[in-house]
Structure 1
């Protein structure tokens, strides 16, 4: 875990930290783009949505729209909410397909009950654990967020929130407020033995308790996968999603077919579909 001085949350409020300069990094830095996209892919996998069915999703802390772009590529519709105007401006510059809303998740999610089929969030929830003003009470802001999110989700829907907890106490605070708001679920830990690749995903269920997915593990010699849960159910988890190489011909054809099912105008398939173009002079 990063030391205190290096954590973005300790640099000030998120709307100040994520300024134009920081937003530009999310548009130009290929490493940051790749990491955000992979975490969005994993979050969507953990949502376990119906195969081949477009869903209406919420992206909390959507930033410059990188995670939303992945949702669009997978055929889903989405709404993003973020507290940083500069990050949302970057999302508009990138022509993201989702609807964007400026808002503070610590003050609640302003949507009608049952609006969404699922929710993802990448690297945002831990910001609620810091008090940037005297009036900010982390436990209260977390509960406001989780209770309004619980209401905004359709019954039985999931929320998968990738986060960087500072310590075990902070993680307990977050999960306690989620439970208080009505959620069940648990924490999925991917690559627990890796200092760089380790990722935490809070997998929440609105409605009846369900099986908490297993975390990924880089070990292939029988090393244990880890997850913590605040339900009593544990069982192996298998994903039915077929892995297709991003930007390959099969990936392009699947994306075009999804858009046709959505009633969108799509160019006909040819022998050149998905073929890489030669660089221009």
Structure 2
């Protein structure tokens, strides 16, 4: 991606009132967000028992991904650093509870209350040092440590990410593992430049809980491993 927004400005500045409205009014963006959110929810592998879960949407923006959670019968809390995005989410009367905050400073939520978490195109922002006080490794450590604490044991967190390079992917994954998570990367359509999507699928809990990483989708819609086999 030649014009990655995280390289242009910090998120709370990049997503100002104008950019937030433009983002939310794009039919292309709305469609992409819906598809990515549906896939993230699928990878969460929540029990199919008709019981609504309390989910966390990290980098919720104007609530596009949260609407997918609502449509699937779940309650959710949305966190974002852009006040402009949250203002639009409020205008759109999304059904989630909205919180203004910087995920790189940790999540101020009570331990064990969240049944699952998703994040669409947000976590890679933590790899940038937008301020002199920002150190990516420490911000990722604060984020994953606090996320681990607020998740119920056995819960999953699924992050759709666009790492800039292999080093970024490894940094994100390493910090997640150090926080206590188990899991790895799920790659959908690994051989397609246009359709290729990357998800970090993490499980919170002791070794007795199944932490197997799901298989990604291949070019024909069937499951495939990260190497496409």
TM-score by length of 2: 0.94
1:227 deviation in Å? 2.9
Asked whether the 8 Å contact 2:33–2:120 carries over to 1, the reply is yes
Q: What is the aligned partner in structure 1 of residue 71 from structure 2?
A: 73
Q: What is the aligned partner in structure 2 of residue 32 from structure 1?
A: 29
Q: What is the aligned partner in structure 2 of residue 213 from structure 1?
A: 214
Stretches of 4+ aligned residues off by more than 6 angstroms: none
- Partner of 1:111, secondary structure, is coil
Q: What is the aligned partner in structure 2 of residue 158 from structure 1?
A: 156
Query: Aligned-residue CA RMSD in angstroms?
Result: 1.3
Q: Between Structure 1 and Structure 2, how many residues are aligned?
A: 223
Q: What is the aligned partner in structure 2 of residue 258 from structure 1?
A: none
Structure 2: how far apart are the matches of 1:155 and 1:34?
32
Q: What is the aligned partner in structure 1 of residue 62 from structure 2?
A: 64
1:209 deviation in Å? 4.4
Q: What is the aligned partner in structure 2 of residue 84 from structure 1?
A: 82
Q: What is the aligned partner in structure 1 of residue 19 from structure 2?
A: 22
Structure 1: how far apart are the matches of 2:130 and 2:100?
19
Q: Deviations over 1:25-73 (max 9, x none)?
A: 2331101000001000000000000112210000000000001011000
1:219 deviation in Å? 3.1
Match of 1:130 among 103, 128, 131: 128
Equivalent residues in 2 for 1:198-237, closer than 5 Å: 198-207=196-205, 208-219=209-220, 225-227=224-226
Equivalent residues in 2 for 1:1-281, closer than 5 Å: 2-3=1-2, 6-51=3-48, 52-207=50-205, 208-219=209-220, 225-227=224-226
Which of 1 and 2 has greater Rg? 1
Structure 1: how far apart are the matches of 2:63 and 2:132?
31
1:201 deviation in Å? 0.5
Q: Deviations over 1:124-155 (max 9, x none)?
A: 00000000111100000001000000000000
Segments of structure 1 that go 5 or more residues without pairing to the other structure are 229-281
1:196 deviation in Å? 1.3
1:210 deviation in Å? 1.6
Q: Deviations over 1:188-238 (max 9, x none)?
A: 001111111111100000013421101011237x8x82338xxxxxxxxxx
Structure 1: how far apart are the matches of 2:211 and 2:130?
36
Segments of structure 2 that go 5 or more residues without pairing to the other structure are none
Structure 2: how far apart are the matches of 1:196 and 1:168?
18
TM-score by length of 1: 0.77
- Partner of 1:119, secondary structure, is strand
